[in-house]
Structure 1
Amino acid sequence: MRRLLLALALGTALPASAQTPAQAALDRLAGTMGYRFAILDNRLTPCPAGVAACFRSEITLTIPADLPPAVAAPELRFGFVSRIVGIDSEDFDWRLVNGDLNVLTLKPGRRLEPGKTYRIGIIGLGRYLSRAHGMPNAHLVVAGAAPRVIAATRTRIDPDTGLETLPFVAPMTDEAKLAPVSAEDRTRWLTPPRAYARYAERGAATAPDVVVLPKPVSAVRGTGAITDLTGGIRVIASGIAPGDLRAALAALPYAKGRGVPLAITRKASLKPEGYRLTIGDGRIAIDAADAAGARHALRSLAQQAAQERGRLRPLTIEDAPRYAFRGLHIDLARNFHSRAEVEKLIEQMAAYKLNKLHLHLGDDEGWRMQIRALPELTDVGAYRCFDATETTCLQPQLGADPDRRAATNGYLSQADYLTILAAAKARGIEVIPSFDMPGHSRAAIRAMEVRHRRLQAAGDRAGAERYRLVEPGDTTAYRSIQNYDDNTLNVCIEGTYRFLDTVLDKMAALHAKAGMPLKTYHIGADETAGAWSRSPACRTMMAARKLEPKQLSAYFIERVSAGLAKRGISAAGWSDGMGHTDPAAMPARVQSNIWSGVHTGAIAEAHGQANRGWDIVLSVPDLAYFDMPYAPDPDEGGYDWASRGVDPLQVFGFMPGNLPANGALIPDNLARPTPVADPIPLAQGRAIAGLQAQLWSETLRTDAQVDYMLFPRLLSLAERAWSAAPWEPAYVPGATYALGDARVDRGVLLSEWRGFAGRVGVALGQLDRAGVAYRLAPPGARITAGRLEALSEFPGTTIEYRAGAGAGAWQRYTGPVAVSGPVELRTRSSDGRRPGRSVTVRPGDE
């Protein structure tokens, strides 16, 4: 029995000799049955009663001819990230477990028939626009056997691109049914001919002389002799500790201790993080405002030296950042990503002068940080496996691989976190941890319930109650936006605050141990469901404090923020929750991350909360949600609830100092030219504090996918966080901008883009050398009069083509070429080692 339970928890097979007949039969069925998921119609009418928009999808099951009788009536459990509003099947019933985990069961008296194909129609809420939303690892459950993943639903890694694929998800090719989701939706798929037109309109990249990215405030070439670094450099630092420069100096691949003198001097007269880099007369001088400025100068030097192969012509750069906050948010909670990936990203952040790392470590689907005082948080909350009781792990969500050893399972040990802190400290990057609360907290809640049961069974009733996060008498019924009915902490019981205090104190202690004090903690505070209305503790507290239910979330944020302030830690949170608080009840220093879209409230939130005197960090999806797809294309990954496509130009063109002006460049999410107003003008003297890129990981199961979704978009965000855009008009309170507004000069934008694209082309080679698997955009291509024409998004990458689709040898594209019939194309990385996703263009395509 112990071996069976262990196999169930690990999601592994028992040895053949230990298998029961039921287990052997289930293993055979799971390994041989066919499974196919397809989206059939995004314009389905009519929808079920009360549903405004819906789509039709279908699961096809093919039962093997030698179906074992012992498993003829299994449960089929599968992930489905849209809310299901109905199914169409003569054979199966459906029910929701929780979150995105759903179950199909055979109707009473029905059994699977050998050799039969079953088609189950599934009606989902909203629209389904990407194959990447298909959740893998559907599994079968029968009594007397450990559940098994259906082999056909497992992910694969493409041997050429290194990217994850979902072989069980049918292609989405019918644009008429699958793309125009309503009469008002003007979104069109980015087909190869449309991509060609897009790239042609932007123009060819400009070959760069100074390749530094982000672009310096000033870069002037001088005259004189070459400064040759290939023989080594001799560092002389004054006023800046050598340890603060070690990581930046390591980015210069030249021997240290001899050769060209490199003098680094602190100059208090420069702007914070500013520097002056002077190359000439056989020497290099860096004047820096502080250690951060010196590091930035060294990173600029490293980029330029790599381009000039260590033989530098005279150059003077004067530089300082526009914004003090230049951040990257990484979600490790939904799907875990490795410490090595985080360390790699920290180095890339430093290379491109980003300085805030927001680590999202706790959410509904996982708790990813070791807290030794509360071991269940990671023993249980860091894993998803086959345990319906959720005693050893959480149930699978988001198509998780139930094997406890899967890469998407796991957590950061304290040693891992200290390593991350050390890497960040060496590069001047502040680490901002976050465990989202009071919503998005299911992993913590379930883990603390296991702790409660363990201590209760041991007779330690007080200990059992100490960190309990739910109230047994609370009968409130709710569903979060992610479809959970049990993911919200009770904000009216003291166990919640004891729990958070313990977590905060342990995190602060780790930061102190690393010599990197915890300065900012991100509460989360977003998307709190309608919980607590039937909580006895909340009714008592509301009566005592004269509060209404809608004020309870704000009470939690205010109380936690006050506790942080007493520790000398600044409170941060997402703008929806933070905006509900009473400013008078909040500390003086507050950070709010604005995550509404340009067309859905970002301007009002950003200006209104900036007017409170808070630090406003723009995290808007139109600029910075890098889990959104790059383009409206069903083969591009990422969610699309906020944007159908956030490509590098859209990020590069963003105007953070004049938010309404972005209406001149960005249509709404249905590709309509909706004007953007300024309903709450920014008060005089108030401003934006900075920008932060977000990468949520619901559909990202591999580290390579992280790289793909971040790069090269993150380079665009680094540019905008550092440098002001010359096409950004001065902010005028109350102004409204419509798409194409002449006050935003698109000609200037595209001219600057061409220079930026040239620098990105150089940076891609640097990313190759760093092992970053950045996205290779499919080529734009058209066939005109029998001739193939193709363009790539960035220089430095090559285009390859072959006749037909999936046949023949790849050839390098060097210019227009005569073709007949369809042509398959792809882009290859600058180092030649890695191809991107291929596309096919046919004569007559548009």
Structure 2
Amino acid sequence: MGVKRLLGMVVLAAWSAGSWAAPDAGQLGQSLFMRVAVDSNKGAAAGAPCSDLGADWASCLKGRLILENKGGQAVPAGGGWSLYLHSIRRILKLDTPDFAIRRITGDLYQITPTASFQGLAPGQTLELPLIDEYWILQESDVLPRPYVVVDGQAPAVLQHNSSDDASYLLPLTGDNWKNPAGELRPLMNMAQRYHSFSQRGAQLSAAQVANRVIPAVRRQQLGGGELLVRGLSLNLSGVSPAQREALEQRAAQLGLRGDGIGVSGGVVGARLPADIAVSGGYRLLIGQHGVKVEGFDAAGVFYGVQTLLGLLPQGGGQVRWMTAEDAPRYAHRGFMADVARNFKQPSTVRRLIDQMAAYKLNKLHLHLSDDEGWRLQIPGLPELTDVGARRCHDLTETQCLVPQLGSGPANQSGGGYFTRADYISLVSYAQARFIEVIPEFDMPAHARAAVVAMEARYRKLLAQGQPQAAAEYRLLDPQDQSNTLSVQFYDRHTYLNPCVPGSQRFVAKLVSEVASMHRDAGQPLATWHFGGDEAKNILLGPGFQDVSGGDPGKGKVRMAEQDQPWGRSSACQAMIAKGQLKSVADLPLNFAREASRIVANQGIATMAAWQDGVSGAASSADFATRNTMVTEWDTLYWGAAQAVNGYAAKGFKTVLALPDYLYFDFPYELNPREHGYYWASRDTDSYKVFSFAPDNLPQNAEVMPDRQGQPFAVSSSAAPAQYAGIQGQAWTEVMRTDQEFETMVYPRLLALAERAWHKAGWERPYTVGETYQLGVTHLVDKDALNRDWQQFAAVLGWREAPKLERAGIAYRLPLPAGLSGPNGLATATEWPGARLEYSYDGRSWQFYSPGQQVQARYWRGVSQDGRRGSRVETLGN
């Protein structure tokens, strides 16, 4: 018997005899360091029993969970402590006798040493074989802040894993960076980036785009002179004092004085040309003696001034005499910010509103609730924020939700909420900038924060002897024992139960209170977003089979033990018995109809939902509100073009939210060091967003491949549809900080604004019967697309990036691109005006002048003020 094994038995015996002190959680937190290694993302091919372990489509990875003792004291053998960790991939097996593993809920797992665990000496590393569902392709797949729990002690975060910036994934080896389902694109590095940027054409100088603005105007006639603008004096009719103040704040933010060139004009209505005589339409006249803005309405006046500010560089300067006539492409030009998964501060949302207004976006969709958090104070229901807005290590979930998404055991990240006053202030702020706030409270699925909070309320009031009050807003059927697994791995508590009376009362209370906030803010609530997505048990999906099945390409589960949501709810079965429902499968759509009646009774004109929230409806007339809006989130390569046309044909106001182009939580480029989810795309950069042709969805199949780089074909088989508009989405599962949120949103938000406001000349008209496919058809004028991009990119680089910086926006810095060849070093950036730095040792940095010949190995992008740097790239790798 080895000395180490003998020592472990002695330690274990001492622990069992009660003579060994309990492990110190704080010491373990200071000592332990956790990492993940991927040995093969093609687990089945590497011998892993992916199908037998129940992996979706039998897809799993083989890897290692690595624990290292970086402290000065040994981690004792035996038990007495647990490590809680987060995994966005289902852990199917931890193949070791030294630890037992169980999933708590969602992404939270507990691993506990067994009697065979022999301890961990200082400097020692223990590697635990691991099998996860699917694959790990990005650093952000491995979440921070695992923590140690010892009974009777405060939980302790592993300090070596506490940073949001560090990577806890070991570098992927071989072809593990590739999607196991297939990958045709190269890994993006400095050389590939240079090749990609070069294909987009020659970059332009600031002078060449002096008359271009983001978003581009519909038409423009240039005069022969220039007007020097260092300050603005606004004298506008038809705009409110708050709207004028918003323009003055924007001008001041850009370094313009409060006096100077006069800007006059106001609302002129239908006196404008017919094609711009719509809400938001305007005429901007810049001449020798000043500026005049004529708007169809107050929004048009506001946008006309924003165009003037867009033409000006930071601090002001010369602007050409011109007449510009302009109007928005879509009525709905939106952006969705998920503040539920990881909360974002009011100041960050205000900065977002400022930038949306500057680039003429007008709908702010706030995702205010989900499984992981409730983010708005509701009078009379304090538990929603007291419990639902906090995460801590309380497995009873009486005080808070259990940690998720790397939040830590004491709300180190992710927690928070808007008070009623905060929300009213934000809505009022948006109203002054012509932005409608659309609140979303997701239901009946993705409702765990509300369900758990109302269960805490129920227990509290029941203990106080108030059973009737306790049940008033209870969202569960206590008899329901349905066995389900949601998209993000929660049990039946993720679903608000539509069959219990508390659910209808809850929705009515919620809508009434939020509508009251909007009235107090001066923006009556016009659109209520119901959510409605993903009310399903994923284990009943097509990638699974019964344990008796023989398909090696599907995961095995005990199908007889799986239920549809609410499948065992006695309240729902009673409704079926009374003939009110055919089956529980009807419940999501039925509840959406019920919600629409509640919304309509509050005088709200429009109810919105993600498309699966109204799936199965015959038409928009199925709902009680005057309008029903569909937020469409199918991907193009999975049939979005046909789906959106179908909803539009049924009378739904259809808003495009296609993930492969419009999800800003996805990586900018194909590189494991990028952050974000990537189930629909691994490379959504600003160019891709800019290239989106929303009116002719099939056209996009000729310009971009699918998520694996594979070409796909889309035909325009249905009649052309009219869309309400488009919107970008920023889901925040792995955007834990406000800075990360801004890095993911900007500058893609500007490309979104370009397409939402302006229809480009290279966008082909929708024609029934056309088919598009990358590399096969050649209908799109890609040279025109690239010329337009270079104009946009030059405005972004020379004028707008400095403005973002001055506004305190932590936008993504362009990464370096470069080739070292026989003619020396050639470098490039995504847009002109971007700065690069180089280093010989990776520590000391010097500014790079374009054309300069250096043999440095390390490169990075840097902000104009030199305070922020991009990730470091290596030339030649």
TM-score normalised to structure 2 length: 0.88
Q: How many angstroms apart in 2 are the aligned matches of 1:136 and 1:80?
A: 10
Paired amino acid for 1:205 = Q
- What is aligned with 1:17? none
8 Å contact from structure 2 (residues 512, 602) kept in 1: no
Provide Cα deviations, 1:345-401, integer angstroms capped at 9, x if missing partner.
000000000000000110000001001210000000100011111111111011113
What does 1:433-512 correspond to in 2, within 5 Å?
433-485=439-491, 486-512=493-519
The question of 1:136 aligning with 2:144 is answered yes
- 3-state secondary structure, aligned to 1:306: coil
Structure 1 residue 299: Cα displacement = 0.7
Over the aligned positions, Cα root-mean-square deviation in angstroms equals 2.0
The question of 1:797 aligning with 2:803 is answered no
Equivalent of 1:645, from 680, 683, 686?
Answer: 683
8 Å contact from structure 1 (residues 29, 67) kept in 2: no
What does 1:804-823 correspond to in 2, within 5 Å?
806-815=842-851, 817=853, 819=855, 823=857
Structure 1 residue 118: Cα displacement = 1.4
8 Å contact from structure 1 (residues 80, 100) kept in 2: yes
8 Å contact from structure 2 (residues 83, 149) kept in 1: yes
Aligned residues: 804
- 3-state secondary structure, aligned to 1:40: strand
The question of 1:788 aligning with 2:789 is answered no
Equivalent of 2:278, from 263, 271, 282?
Answer: 271
The question of 1:90 aligning with 2:97 is answered yes
8 Å contact from structure 1 (residues 72, 112) kept in 2: no
Provide Cα deviations, 1:736-788, integer angstroms capped at 9, x if missing partner.
21114211111111111111111111210110110111101211112213832
Q: How many angstroms apart in 2 are the aligned matches of 1:311 and 1:671?
A: 44
What does 1:269-418 correspond to in 2, within 5 Å?
269=271, 270-306=277-313, 309-404=316-411, 406-418=412-424
Q: How many angstroms apart in 2 are the aligned matches of 1:550 and 1:494?
A: 19
Q: How many angstroms apart in 2 are the aligned matches of 1:835 and 1:117?
A: 33
Question: CA distance change for structure 1 residues 22 and 202 in 2, over 3 Å: closer, same or farther?
Answer: farther
- What is aligned with 2:719? 682
Q: How many angstroms apart in 2 are the aligned matches of 1:166 and 1:837?
A: 11
- What is aligned with 1:589? 627
Question: CA distance change for structure 1 residues 229 and 695 in 2, over 3 Å: closer, same or farther?
Answer: same
Paired amino acid for 2:347 = A
Higher deviation after alignment, 232-241 or 582-591: 232-241
- What is aligned with 2:154? 146
Q: How many angstroms apart in 2 are the aligned matches of 1:589 and 1:480?
A: 30
- 3-state secondary structure, aligned to 2:494: coil
8 Å contact from structure 2 (residues 441, 529) kept in 1: yes
Q: How many angstroms apart in 1 are the aligned matches of 2:760 and 2:28?
A: 59
Paired amino acid for 2:262 = V
Structure 1 residue 171: Cα displacement = 2.9
Structure 1 residue 42: Cα displacement = 1.5
Provide Cα deviations, 1:550-602, integer angstroms capped at 9, x if missing partner.
11111011111122122222100101222233424224411101111111121
8 Å contact from structure 2 (residues 139, 168) kept in 1: no
- What is aligned with 2:610? 574
Higher deviation after alignment, 494-503 or 201-210: 201-210
- 3-state secondary structure, aligned to 2:131: strand
- 3-state secondary structure, aligned to 2:715: coil
8 Å contact from structure 2 (residues 137, 176) kept in 1: no
- 3-state secondary structure, aligned to 1:205: coil
Paired amino acid for 2:130 = I
Q: How many angstroms apart in 2 are the aligned matches of 1:808 and 1:342?
A: 35
- What is aligned with 1:197? 195
The question of 1:764 aligning with 2:801 is answered yes
The question of 1:620 aligning with 2:658 is answered yes
Provide Cα deviations, 1:133-183, integer angstroms capped at 9, x if missing partner.
21111011222322211111101xxxxxxxx412433233x252332524x
Paired amino acid for 1:757 = A
8 Å contact from structure 1 (residues 651, 713) kept in 2: yes
Q: How many angstroms apart in 1 are the aligned matches of 2:117 and 2:157?
A: 22
Structure 1 residue 700: Cα displacement = 0.6
8 Å contact from structure 1 (residues 73, 112) kept in 2: no
Q: How many angstroms apart in 2 are the aligned matches of 1:108 and 1:734?
A: 68
Q: How many angstroms apart in 1 are the aligned matches of 2:72 and 2:317?
A: 67
Q: How many angstroms apart in 1 are the aligned matches of 2:301 and 2:421?
A: 29
Q: How many angstroms apart in 2 are the aligned matches of 1:95 and 1:256?
A: 62
Higher deviation after alignment, 476-485 or 740-749: 740-749
- What is aligned with 2:426? 420
Question: CA distance change for structure 1 residues 212 and 308 in 2, over 3 Å: closer, same or farther?
Answer: farther
Structure 1 residue 260: Cα displacement = 3.0
- What is aligned with 1:659? 697
8 Å contact from structure 2 (residues 77, 119) kept in 1: no
Question: CA distance change for structure 1 residues 547 and 312 in 2, over 3 Å: closer, same or farther?
Answer: same
Q: How many angstroms apart in 2 are the aligned matches of 1:755 and 1:292?
A: 26
Structure 1 residue 256: Cα displacement = 4.7
8 Å contact from structure 1 (residues 367, 381) kept in 2: yes
Q: How many angstroms apart in 2 are the aligned matches of 1:358 and 1:334?
A: 15
The question of 1:747 aligning with 2:783 is answered yes
Q: Percent identity?
A: 37
Higher deviation after alignment, 624-633 or 805-814: 805-814
- 3-state secondary structure, aligned to 2:705: coil
- 3-state secondary structure, aligned to 2:48: coil
8 Å contact from structure 2 (residues 22, 80) kept in 1: no
8 Å contact from structure 1 (residues 229, 260) kept in 2: no
Q: How many angstroms apart in 2 are the aligned matches of 1:546 and 1:699?
A: 39
8 Å contact from structure 2 (residues 634, 640) kept in 1: yes
Paired amino acid for 1:170 = L
Equivalent of 1:125, from 125, 128, 133?
Answer: 133
Question: CA distance change for structure 1 residues 638 and 771 in 2, over 3 Å: closer, same or farther?
Answer: same
- 3-state secondary structure, aligned to 1:221: strand
Higher deviation after alignment, 752-761 or 545-554: 545-554
Q: How many angstroms apart in 2 are the aligned matches of 1:222 and 1:307?
A: 23
- What is aligned with 1:557? 592
Structure 1 residue 68: Cα displacement = 6.2
- 3-state secondary structure, aligned to 2:462: helix
Structure 1 residue 549: Cα displacement = 1.9
The question of 1:169 aligning with 2:173 is answered no
Q: How many angstroms apart in 2 are the aligned matches of 1:471 and 1:668?
A: 42
- What is aligned with 1:30? 29
Paired amino acid for 1:263 = G
Q: How many angstroms apart in 1 are the aligned matches of 2:378 and 2:832?
A: 47
- What is aligned with 2:438? 432
8 Å contact from structure 2 (residues 827, 850) kept in 1: no
Paired amino acid for 1:125 = E
- What is aligned with 2:863? 829
Q: How many angstroms apart in 2 are the aligned matches of 1:669 and 1:567?
A: 42
- 3-state secondary structure, aligned to 1:817: coil
- What is aligned with 1:14? none
8 Å contact from structure 1 (residues 152, 168) kept in 2: no
- 3-state secondary structure, aligned to 2:395: coil
Paired amino acid for 1:738 = Q
Q: How many angstroms apart in 1 are the aligned matches of 2:815 and 2:236?
A: 46
- 3-state secondary structure, aligned to 1:202: coil
8 Å contact from structure 2 (residues 704, 774) kept in 1: yes
- What is aligned with 2:734? 699
Q: How many angstroms apart in 1 are the aligned matches of 2:92 and 2:428?
A: 49
Equivalent of 1:541, from 570, 575, 580?
Answer: 575
